[in-house]
Structure 1
Amino acid sequence: MEKTKVAIVGMGTVGGGVAKLLLDHGDRTARHAGRTLWLERAVVRDLSKPRDGELPAGVLSDDVEDVLNDPEITVVAQLIGGLEPARTIMLRLLEAGKDIVTANKALLAEHGPELFDRARQLGRSIAFEASVAGGIPIITNISQCLSANQILSLEGILNGTSNFILSQMDQHALPYDDAVRLAQKLGYAEADPAMDVDGTDAAQKLAILAHLAFGARVHWRDIPRTGVDALHVIDLQFARELGYRIKLLAVARLSEAGLELHVSPTLVRIGTPLAEVQDAFNAIRVVGDAVGPVFYHGQGAGQMPTASAVVADIIDTAVGRTRLTFQTLELFSASEPPRVEQRSFDQLSGRYYFRLHVKDHPGVLAEITGVLGRNLVSIASVIQHAPQSDGDGTSVPLVVMTHEAPEGAARAAAEAMEKLSSVSGSVLRLRVKD
């Protein structure tokens, strides 16, 4: 059987999973590829570092030149994280005549146009299914399977770490800090979980999906984002009392006014598919004008789900499918004008959940409703429970649910409420999806 020689650059968790699939299931990959996928080289930074699983003699190397200078290696899984040296290595691999498979969504979100244009100039391809939602084949579905559709909207849980944290807070009343520590202990969160919990990771993935689905050219930093790090267990409890669960949603929605984009903790109605996504799972709801709503659910991270997507891309690249798609779709082309413009976030309309702590005395509710009224934000319902015996005796939580209002008006109302002497601390404002 014809042989395609493959290299892995970066043998972290995902790289180890890719090597395992290539070495332990060669018969399976050969059956799908119509050829043997031969792991020729695996490049690591430290040869002495212990690793799970044995590699054949001569495969492991600490010098990327062994890949660059081997013309028989035609497909490379570039699995180094971060921006540098990942960007420089990818450019060098392309210039050495290699087709690339990557899982590095941060690199594509930051340098995608440069890398994709360079690959086209050199007649090479870049496959990146594993960069968004791990084992869920969302890239292929949007760029190929749903290509007969105009995508109307994408709504997704794109960060498994945040979803795990929220699930623990919701199901077990675990305080936020304890939920983060548990996520770290189980390997769902990094030692520094900032990019997961502040919405950065989800925004980077949303930028990639928005480009594929809508032809948008929006830098991930320009996507309004709020993380889960300001939430407390009490918010999950109030949400449940109101019939919702809180999820970190990444949203892209097309309208005549442009493309709505944002990442934010959102109250999602219990019983709807997105509300039922638990633990470290991801899910994406896509609506196309022809197909209607389609729902994807699965493991969005982890060694083997992500390795599954990488190896699928290696197979597609080896048989030539990736190159056909890569050249015809003009993905991330810097020379192509955007097909849609991003909408002003302040003008987006939605319902909101406000949670604030107020002094427990008469007239406070009138002050709050006055602020909301002056900002043209209409109240749908209010929750204020009796003071708890274990409380501080000076303030009680107050929850206000609104009717639809512009984002800018809702934000202005929250800022005005924080200035009231009857309000202590910050005001939490979350979007509501019915």
Structure 2
Amino acid sequence: MTNPISVAIVGLGTVGTGVAKLLLQHADRLKTRSGRDIQLRRAVCRDLSKPREIELPDGVLTDNWRTVLEDDDVSVVVQLVGGTTTAREMMIAFLKAGKNVVTANKALLCEHGEELFQLAREHDCTIAFEAAVAGGIPIIAAIGQSMTANQIRSIEAILNGTSNYILTEMLSQGRTYEDALKQAQELGYAEADPTMDVDGTDAAQKLTILARLAFGTTVSLDEFPRQGIDSVALADLQYAAELGYRIKLLGVAKVVDGHLEMHVQPTLVKQDRPVAQADGAFNIIAVDGDAVGRTWYTGPGAGQMPTASAVVADLVDTVAGRTRLTFPLLDLWGERTPLPVQAPDEITSRYFLRFSMEDRPHVFAEIADILGRNGISLASIMQHEASESKTQAGSRPMVPVVVMTHRTTRGRMQAAEREFQQLNTLQPPWILLPVAD
């Protein structure tokens, strides 16, 4: 156990650089906690001439990932390449070569996890992936190890820091969505192309990994509702606040009547709940187990050093041999009978609707009639007075109206929406968001 362990970092971007910093600047700390000297032998990048935040030892930097594959001394690969094409090719090659892998690539695990986990077992290797979900929050270890005495009953989580930052800025600073997104990009919270963050894809990919781990069910992204924050306006956040709620991009996976209900959507959450109080770029995950009850895990869900912290924790576990003990037992893509996924139309919730409607008699009656015909009961209606001075001559003023419903199915709400489209008294677009219990 005194021989050093040689590792390679493949992908020397923001997180890879953070991992290299920890390995080089805190070698003594990591040796104490792993029992071995951890030596950075290779660091693979795309551009050798690019300036870097850290000075690497001579001979470490390369632009050819196959040098890692061919180096028998490298036993652990920290793979931080994004995407699912080249990253998959690399991962397969490393596993077939008998190298253990640490990764932060949630998209790769979401799309090809079953194949890769099986390959790792066939070649007596391990895959560690704490950093793939919720950055520096140790949620994989919590669900996969610490809560093994429990049957998980539900997961409720904010899993995308970019969206959470944007929603927080909109409400606290009175910004539009566009202004808050621009601010997030300037601060480095959002990419130049923020699509996967703001349309819910990133959070959905992370939720599928947690669902596999907690419930043993493999769910594809097209099997459950996914809605982003790009349709949420400042007015929605303000109306929700008037009603005592915060709007959060919430990922939910829970067991309901023997089925696994899953969805990622902007959701109204009571403002006194811990999930509602997680602001800025922070993530939070509430996990309910049948023995322990409800537990919460919160912290930075992205960023160089929080994510690097999770990567290096996995690396230390792999070097110390802990991953080899737990990986064969990790039932992420295992033998459990999977729960059937709840059909999206059958998911039940209360709903928040915001309309812009013509201020004339019987409009409320038309809305109530459509909802009633679809078996949907109204809980409350809120209308703010329109400014008639802004109304064009000869036209009726448009007024904002917010409706809260009692619990109903998603299918019934969608049927009502189709009828709303036929009303010439409503000005599109309108907003339809679920309300968390």
Task: Say yes or no: TM over 0.5.
Answer: yes
| One-letter code aligned to 1:247 | K
The CA distance in 2 between the partners of 1:137 and 1:178, in whole Å, is 32
The CA distance in 2 between the partners of 1:131 and 1:251, in whole Å, is 18
- Map 1:107-186 → 2, pairs under 5 A: 107-186=108-187
Go from structure 1 to structure 2 and tell me whether the alpha carbon gap of 1:390 and 1:105 turns closer, same or farther (over 3 Å shift): farther
Is the counterpart of residue 39 in structure 1 residue 40 in structure 2?
A: yes
The CA distance in 2 between the partners of 1:173 and 1:222, in whole Å, is 35
The CA distance in 2 between the partners of 1:248 and 1:3, in whole Å, is 44
Q: 1:279 matched to which residue of 2?
A: 280
Q: 2:420 matched to which residue of 1?
A: 417
The CA distance in 2 between the partners of 1:221 and 1:301, in whole Å, is 25
The CA distance in 2 between the partners of 1:423 and 1:110, in whole Å, is 41
Higher mean C-alpha displacement, 26-35 vs 410-419: 410-419
Higher mean C-alpha displacement, 235-244 vs 383-392: 383-392
Q: 1:219 matched to which residue of 2?
A: 220
The CA distance in 2 between the partners of 1:362 and 1:267, in whole Å, is 30
Q: 1:396 matched to which residue of 2?
A: 399
Q: 2:371 matched to which residue of 1?
A: 372
Q: 2:411 matched to which residue of 1?
A: 408
| One-letter code aligned to 1:387 | A
Higher mean C-alpha displacement, 240-249 vs 355-364: 355-364
| One-letter code aligned to 1:315 | V
Secondary structure of the residue aligned to 2:351 is: strand
Aligned residues: CA RMSD: 1.2
Higher mean C-alpha displacement, 348-357 vs 286-295: 348-357
Q: 1:344 matched to which residue of 2?
A: 343
Residues 35-90 of structure 1, C-alpha deviation per residue, up to 9 Å, x if partnerless?
A: 11111110111101111111111110111122111111100100000112000011
| One-letter code aligned to 2:364 | L
Query: What's the CA shift for 1:403?
Result: 0.7
Q: 2:357 matched to which residue of 1?
A: 358
Runs of 4+ in structure 1 deviating by more than 4 angstroms, as ranges, are: 389-393
Q: 1:190 matched to which residue of 2?
A: 191
Residues 368-404 of structure 1, C-alpha deviation per residue, up to 9 Å, x if partnerless?
A: 1111111111001101110136755631111000111
| One-letter code aligned to 1:399 | V
Query: What's the CA shift for 1:344?
Result: 1.2
How many residue pairs match? The answer is 432
Secondary structure of the residue aligned to 2:332 is: coil
Secondary structure of the residue aligned to 2:430 is: strand
Q: 2:89 matched to which residue of 1?
A: 88
Asked if structure 2 preserves the Cα contact closer than 8 Å seen for 1:417 and 1:427, the reply is no
Residues 325-363 of structure 1, C-alpha deviation per residue, up to 9 Å, x if partnerless?
A: 111224325xx4642111112112110000111011111
Query: What's the CA shift for 1:204?
Result: 0.3
Asked if structure 2 preserves the Cα contact closer than 8 Å seen for 1:217 and 1:338, the reply is no
TM-score (norm. length: structure 1): 0.97
Query: What's the CA shift for 1:427?
Result: 2.3
Consecutive unaligned residues in structure 1, runs of 5 or more = none
TM-score (norm. length: structure 2): 0.97
Query: What's the CA shift for 1:298?
Result: 0.2
> Identity over aligned residues, as a percent?
54
Asked if structure 1 preserves the Cα contact closer than 8 Å seen for 2:224 and 2:343, the reply is no
The CA distance in 2 between the partners of 1:96 and 1:390, in whole Å, is 74
Secondary structure of the residue aligned to 2:428 is: strand
Q: 2:15 matched to which residue of 1?
A: 14
The CA distance in 2 between the partners of 1:214 and 1:352, in whole Å, is 27
Secondary structure of the residue aligned to 1:424 is: coil
| One-letter code aligned to 1:288 | G
Asked if structure 2 preserves the Cα contact closer than 8 Å seen for 1:153 and 1:254, the reply is yes
Q: 1:321 matched to which residue of 2?
A: 322
Consecutive unaligned residues in structure 2, runs of 5 or more = none
